[in-house]
Every structure is written in C-alpha cells, then in structure tokens.
Amino acid sequence: MVARRSSLTDAANAGKFRLDDKTAIVTGGGSGIGRAIALLFAAQGAKVRILDVNEAAAGATRDDIAGAGGSASAHKCDVTEQAEVKTVFAELFRRDRVHLLINNAGVSHIGTVETTTEQDFDRLMRVNVKGFYNCMQAVVAHMKEQGGGVILNLASIAGSQGLADRFAYSMSKGAIIAMTYSVARDYLSSGIRCNCISPARVHTPFVDDYLRKNYPGREQEMFAKLATAQPIGRMGEPEEIAALALFLCSDEAGFITGVDYPIDGGFINLRG
C-alpha cells in the first residue's frame, strides 16, 4: 500500500516545475548562483542563454549543459552598457521567443558610507542597478508582444535589513527590490510576472576570494564565523537558490508576482 501511494505521488509530480519549450536568459551565468540557475533550468528543459562579461566562464557553463544533454548558448555581454545589452537581446529575440529573464549579474562591496569611494559607489550603481534596468528595459517590450513572461531579479537580504559595512551594496539591492515591485505593478495586464529573491550569505567563489584576500592563513576560521551568522548554522548553496528560482519561474508559480522572497537560513526572523 505504501509503494502504491509513492507511485501515485511520483506520477503526480512528474511534470512539476518543467520549463520545456521555454527560453531563459541568465545574466552572470558563468559562475556562482547564475551558473547554478542555468544548469538547473537546462535540466528542467529550458533553452538557456548564458550572458556574462567573462566569455570563457559563460562558455564553460554552456559546455557543461551541453555535456549533460541540455540546450544552451553563451554570449559575452556587459550589462552596464545599454547598447551592448540591446544588441545581444535583439539577436536572441531573432532566434527565439524569450520567456524568462533571470537578472543575476552583480558585484559586491564591503564598506561604510565613510569608506565607500565615489568610484565604489558608481560601480555598484552601474552593475547592480543600471545593469538590471538595462536588461528589464530590453526584454519587456518583447514579452508584451509575445503574451507575457517572467522576470526574476536576484536581490539580497542586505536590501531590506541593516547589515554592517554594506552601505553601497545594501543601497543597490534595495533598489532592485523596489524595481521589482514597480515592474510587477506596471505589467500585470501584460502577463509579465516579476519577483525577486533575497539570499543571505551563499557560498560562492566571491566568499572564497574575499577570505583569501582579507584573512590569509585564517580562511577556515573566518569561513566558520561567516557561516554561523545564519541561524541555521551554515551558508546557503547556489543550488538551493536555483531551486527557488526554478519554482518562481515555473507555471506552478503563476499566481505569484510582486514578491521579495528571502532565502536566508532564518537570518531575518530567527536571529538573537
């Protein structure tokens, strides 16, 4: 009897969260969370267009997808350059209808308002805010013409929480959350859903590079300290963020728009 229930459940879930016949643009898909999203979306049937300023990294993700039997292409794109974004997106539109945009390309920064230089500030605004704007502006008209789509923005809990030494980064991620709400509101009638994900600390190459640069010889000690800042006792993994992204971009999430989803190991609600 137990086996029978299990087989029925497997049958019911067999088609869940599939992205067959859909095309997804993933910015920053060459590494970290973007790479994990690209790999998972391809495994779920999507044709994935990997955009990254690092052409070799984008190509490596594409090759891994192809090696697993998936469909992907790699494209060099600096999301801060509007003309370049429009050119790359126009080429993708000529090839396919684009159903999904995952705005993920971004940079981090550590510092207070006093220690943040003008160059630091401008860089965060250019990549994390203007880059997201450029990609959304490039895709919205196409999605309207095609009857709808899904935009998913990668924000951070830094955009809604007071975190030490994250002045410019928090500013940029707060802007992403606000842009998400605005786009969701403006394009309801066009069939475009727009949500964002706000992770806490995730174990990506950025974390390892940061520890090597700032704490040589103390990497393991500081990694443990950063990991336990999340009440659950560890950092998130890129694949966990990708799983939430998959749900929000799937047809099963069709009733969800205009929402910021924390995925934070209890950071917001369970601290202290």
Active centre residues (catalytic): 169
Indicate the burial class of 126 (C-beta count within 10 angstroms; 0-12, 13-18, 19 or more): middle
